Structure 1
Amino acid sequence: MDSGENTKLMGTQNFTPCESALHSEVEALRWAMENMLQHSPCQSFGTDCKELIEMKKEPQEWPSFATELEKIETLQICFPDFKITHVPRVRNQFYDFLAKTTRTFRRELLFIGCFIPVWLHRLPQA
C-alpha cells in the first residue's frame, strides 16, 4: 500500500495447510515481506486479522508463534518504515476473493502483480 493506503502491489500463493488460520496469517505476512524485498520498495502492509497486528505489538504474549515472529522481526530490519494496518473485512473483499480463488487451484500457484489477471478470475479445472 502507498502512503494513502492505496494498493500498489498484491500477491497470493496457495500455501500448504497450516495448523490454524492464525498460522496462515503469520505465514502470509512473512511471504509478503520476503516478496516485497524483491519486487517493490513497499513499506506498508494491510491485514484483516487483528490478532496478527497484536502479535507484532506484543510478540512475547504469543509464545507458540515465537519462531514465526522471529522470522518476521528479522525481515522487518529491511523495512525501515515498516507499517502494518488493520483493513476491515468490508474493505478487504477483493483480496479475500483473491485468497479464496487461489486455494481452489490444485497445483502450485504464485502471483504477484498490480491487478488480477483474467486467468485467475476463472475457477481452475479439476
Structure 2
Amino acid sequence: MQCMLAHNKRRMNFQTDCAQLVKMVSKPAEWPVFAILLEEVEKCRRMFQAFSLTHIPRKKNTKADKLARSARDQPHDVYYINSVPPVSLLEAI
C-alpha cells in the first residue's frame, strides 16, 4: 500500500490469496492482537481515493503463485511493481 501511494497510485484493487487478511482488514475490531498493524493499514487506506482488497484463491491465479515462488527462491529481495514482470522472473515461469 505504501509503495503504491509513493508512486501516486490512488485508486487500487489489491488482491491476495490470504482470506484471513481480507477478514482482518474488513473487520479489524475482531482482531485485537493485530490492532497496531491494522491501524497502520487503515491510515494508508484513507489516503486512497478508491481502495479494495479482495481474495483470489491460488488455484485461480497460478501465474502469480509461480511468480511468488520464484521470488522467494531469489538470493536477494525482489521488488516488482508493474504490469509486465522483468525477464529474470519470466524465465522462472
Q: TM-score, normalised by structure 2?
A: 0.83
Q: Answer yes or no: is the 8 Å Cα contact 1:55–1:61 preserved in 2.
A: yes
1:67 Cα deviation (Å)?
1.5
Q: Where has structure 1 moved over 4 Å in runs of 4 or more?
A: none
Q: Using CA pairs under 8 Å that are at least 6 residues apart, name the structure with larger relative contact order, 1 or 2.
A: 1
The structure richer in helix per residue is 2
Structure 1 segments unaligned to the other structure (5+ residues): 1-32
Partner of 2:4: 36
Report the 3-state secondary structure (helix = DSSP H, G, I; strand = E; otherwise coil) of the residue aligned with 1:46.
strand
In 2, the alpha carbon distance for the partners of 1:111 and 1:88 equals: 21
Structure 2 segments unaligned to the other structure (5+ residues): none
Question: What is the total number of aligned residue pairs between the two structures?
Answer: 91
**Sequence identity, in percent?**
37
User: Are residues 1:89 and 2:58 paired?
Assistant: yes
Give RMSD over aligned pairs.
1.6
1:45 Cα deviation (Å)?
1.0
